[in-house]
C-alpha cells in the first residue's frame, strides 16, 4: 500500500489553510497556496476540488475570493483527508470495510482476520490524528 501523492498534498493544503485562515473568515488564493506548499497550480485545483467535494475546504468566488478551511483543524482527521482523495481503505482484497462480508472463495481465508486487524489499526491511527496536530512547517 502506498499513499498517493495527491493525499500528501491534500494534507499540506489543509495544514497551510489551518495555519493561515479561519474557517469563519480569511481566504487565500489558489496561487498563494500552491506556491507556498510547492505544487503546481493545476494540481492544486484538482486536489482542492476533491477537498471541496468532501466539505473539507470552501471556496469563495469573486475578486477577493480564494480558499479557506471548512472547519477547525481539530475537527479534520488524516483519515478524512484519505477518504476524500483515495476513498475507502481496503488493504486486502477480501477484507472490506467494517460490517461487510468477506468475499473469499473459501468460507474464511487464513489471513483474513490478521489483515482486518491491520486495516482497522491503520484506520484508527489516521482517524486519531487531526490536521491541527501537525506543525505548520510546510517544507517537508
User: pLDDT tens, 17-69?
Assistant: 998 877 677 899 999 999 999 999 999 999 999 999 999 999 999 888 999 99
Tell which residue, 12, 26, 11, has the closest CA to residue 58: 26
C-alpha–C-alpha distance, residues 94 and 97, integer Å? 10
Q: Taking the domains of the chain in order of start, what are their residue ranges?
A: 5-133
5-133: CATH topology: Arc Repressor Mutant, subunit A (1.10.10)
Q: Is 130 helix (H, G, I), strand (E, B) or coil?
A: strand
- Reported as a single tens digit per residue, the pLDDT across 59-93 is 999 888 999 999 999 999 999 999 999 998 888 76
pTM flag (> 0.85): no
Size of the chain, expressed as the number of residues it contains: 140
Amino acid at each position: 500500500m502506498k499513499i498517493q501523492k495527491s493525499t500528501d498534498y491534500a494534507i499540506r493544503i489543509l495544514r497551510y489553510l489551518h495555519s493561515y485562515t479561519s474557517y469563519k473568515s480569511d481566504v487565500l488564493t489558489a496561487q498563494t497556496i500552491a506556491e507556498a506548499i510547492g505544487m503546481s497550480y493545476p494540481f492544486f485545483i484538482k486536489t482542492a476540488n476533491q477537498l471541496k467535494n468532501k466539505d473539507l475546504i470552501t471556496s469563495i468566488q469573486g475578486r477577493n475570493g480564494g480558499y479557506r478551511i471548512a472547519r477547525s483543524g481539530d475537527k479534520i482527521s488524516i483519515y478524512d483527508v484519505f477518504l476524500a482523495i483515495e476513498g475507502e481503505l481496503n488493504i486486502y482484497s477480501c477484507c472490506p470495510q467494517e460490517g461487510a462480508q468477506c468475499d473469499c472463495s473459501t468460507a474464511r481465508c487464513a489471513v483474513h482476520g490478521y489483515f482486518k486487524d491491520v486495516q482497522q489499526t491503520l484506520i484508527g491511527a489516521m482517524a486519531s490524528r487531526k490536521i491541527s496536530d501537525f506543525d505548520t512547517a510546510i517544507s517537508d
